[in-house]
Structure 1
Amino acid sequence: MKLFKTLRKIKDDIKVIKENDPAATSILEIIFCYPGFQALMSHRFAHKLKSMGVPFIPRYMSYLTRIITGIEIHPSAQIGERLFIDHGEGVVIGETTIIGNDVLIYQQVTLGGTGKETGKRHPTIGNNVIIGAGAKVLGNITISDNVRIGAGSVVIDDVPEHSTVVGIPGKIVQQKYFNDDGVLMHNRIPDPISCELNRQKYEILELKNRLDNLDKN
């Protein structure tokens, strides 16, 4: 029964790639030419073996997968349904990472720890999350549902639902700068530094107006 569940997840993994990547022309192409899918398929079986208490083999599968695909997923990582690792090169998913359903991860993403602590030390990713290329999500933090993380961002704090995070360190943009089709609109994400400078500019102008009014009185 558990094996059938794993196979169903793999079938759904193929389906989500076919539906969301216009470059995917066939199931055969996805199986043999998509390193993100290959790494995820290997992880599905390695994780199952790990949960059954099988020693060594799950970790060795992860090692071989990293050599072949350039993607490292620890066999203990818990990954939900319909994960899409697009392009995939350089993706690292740590041991205690938890990933929900319908998550999209681009290349060079790290879901890692922040030190040598034990126990839960990697992020928890909610449902319907998009993590842009080169982003780093570090530590035992929670990325809630429907979050978008911009390319190159470094996230070290919890992120609430329906937020977009950009920058180093990551700063939260409360507005929805992404569409409902699950596409990260990089060209519409505001610069948090620019926003902060503008805010300070208006505060200075307001203080200046107050001082001018005091001088008049």
Structure 2
Amino acid sequence: MFQRLREDINSVFARDPAARNFLEVLTNYPGLHALLLHRMAHWLWKKHLKWLARTLSTFSRWLTGIEIHPGAKIGRRFFIDHGMGVVIGETAEVGDDVTLYQGVTLGGTSWHKGKRHPTLEQGVIVGAGAKILGPFTVGAGAKVGSNAVVTKEVPAGATVVGIPGKIVKREEPDAAAVLDIDPARREAICQKFGFDAYGVSEDMPDPVARSIQAMLDHMHAVDERIERMCGTLRKLDASYREGKLPELRDEDFADILDDVDACCGPPKPNRQTPRKDEKGDVHQGNG
């Protein structure tokens, strides 16, 4: 019992930089109080002392503002930050190292008995005000954004935001590794187009940037395959003459890049954009 308590307190220190010492966490963290009282209530529930279990659960809600049904199954190192308004239903299952913020609901969508609340696997993080409703699974390591309403299964490692919840990021291998793209050449072609996929925060993924990166990766992979095919043809036929592909010039994309800058933000300081002088001649420079 004391080992579990130590684990719970250490999990607070690991996930809340405001925690300063053992006594402060033990006496002033309602999420920890709700968890300890729930473990007692859940033990009573399994012993078929359900009235006592519900009474203890009601006392815990009155004390902490957090309502956890005594039938819910909670894993190790569970952390509720702030906690006010959190509701966890009877058939909900929460894995190890899960974090919930205030106002989260793990609820059901029907009045039928049986499994009607969600299952959160290991390492899930649920933002403030999010609602996860229904008997489905949120995969390990997934993140649910603040105020999202999730009614469908979430794959492991995914990030879900919005109403209704939509997956904006999946745990996928990088396309450069899958397509066997040289990272240096991948970066070079991105710079050629004035596109930086890594300027977007991983916490706020941009679907447009992701689509552009996918197209560039596909173009790059096709280009490398054509080069390998031409190399093979030269080995088979010495008389084979390879024609050069037209060069991609900065001025060919000037209008497109200017439109992107006008829509999405100012141009990058390191990008060379063409400009015209009084005679109408095109020059390269910062413009």
* Interval containing the TM-score (normalised by the shorter chain): 0.7 to 0.9
* Partner-residue secondary structure (3-state), 2:167: strand
Q: Give the drift of 1:187.
A: 8.2
Q: Among 125, 135, 140, which residue is 1:145 paired with?
A: 140
Query: What residue in structure 2 maps to residue 158 of structure 1?
Result: 153
Q: Give the drift of 1:175.
A: 4.0
Q: Among 101, 107, 126, which residue is 1:106 paired with?
A: 101
* Partner-residue secondary structure (3-state), 2:146: coil
User: Higher relative CO (CA 8 A, sep ≥ 6), structure 1 or 2?
Assistant: 1
Q: Among 190, 203, 209, which residue is 2:205 paired with?
A: 190
The letter for the 2-side match of 1:115 is S
Looking at structure 2, the residues matched to 45 and 153 of structure 1 have their Cα atoms a distance apart, in angstroms, of 31
Distance 1:191 1:119, change over 3 A: farther
* Partner-residue secondary structure (3-state), 1:111: strand
Larger CA Rg, structure 1 vs 2: 2
* Partner-residue secondary structure (3-state), 2:106: strand
Query: What residue in structure 2 maps to residue 204 of structure 1?
Result: none
Verify the 8 A CA contact 2:169 2:205 in the aligned structure 1: no
The answer as to 2:123 corresponding to 1:128 is yes
Root mean square deviation, CA, Å: 2.1
Q: Give the drift of 1:9.
A: 2.4
More displaced 10-residue stretch of structure 1: 19-28 or 74-83: 19-28
Distance 1:136 1:191, change over 3 A: farther
Q: Among 57, 68, 72, which residue is 2:63 paired with?
A: 68
More displaced 10-residue stretch of structure 1: 74-83 or 8-17: 8-17
Looking at structure 2, the residues matched to 143 and 55 of structure 1 have their Cα atoms a distance apart, in angstroms, of 28
Deviations 1:151-200 (A, max 9, x none): 01000000111100000000012346xxxxxxxxx9832377xx5xx99x
Query: What residue in structure 1 maps to residue 22 of structure 2?
Result: 27
More displaced 10-residue stretch of structure 1: 45-54 or 144-153: 45-54
Looking at structure 1, the residues matched to 153 and 162 of structure 2 have their Cα atoms a distance apart, in angstroms, of 15
Looking at structure 2, the residues matched to 191 and 124 of structure 1 have their Cα atoms a distance apart, in angstroms, of 28
Runs of at least 4 residues off by over 3 Å: none
Query: What residue in structure 2 maps to residue 209 of structure 1?
Result: none
Verify the 8 A CA contact 2:31 2:66 in the aligned structure 1: yes
Matched positions, count: 183
Q: What residue ranges of structure 1 are gaps of 5+ in the alignment?
A: 177-185, 200-217
* Partner-residue secondary structure (3-state), 2:3: helix
More displaced 10-residue stretch of structure 1: 19-28 or 143-152: 19-28
The answer as to 2:9 corresponding to 1:9 is no
Q: Give the drift of 1:115.
A: 2.3
Looking at structure 2, the residues matched to 124 and 12 of structure 1 have their Cα atoms a distance apart, in angstroms, of 22
* Partner-residue secondary structure (3-state), 2:50: coil
The letter for the 1-side match of 2:203 is R
Verify the 8 A CA contact 2:54 2:70 in the aligned structure 1: yes
More displaced 10-residue stretch of structure 1: 167-176 or 120-129: 167-176
Query: What residue in structure 1 maps to residue 163 of structure 2?
Result: 168
The letter for the 1-side match of 2:146 is A
* Partner-residue secondary structure (3-state), 1:8: helix
TM-score, reference length from structure 2 = 0.60
Query: What residue in structure 2 maps to residue 213 of structure 1?
Result: none
Looking at structure 1, the residues matched to 35 and 105 of structure 2 have their Cα atoms a distance apart, in angstroms, of 15
Deviations 1:4-30 (A, max 9, x none): 4xx432321111002221211111111
Deviations 1:46-100 (A, max 9, x none): 1111112223111101101111111000001000000010000000000000000
Looking at structure 2, the residues matched to 82 and 23 of structure 1 have their Cα atoms a distance apart, in angstroms, of 18
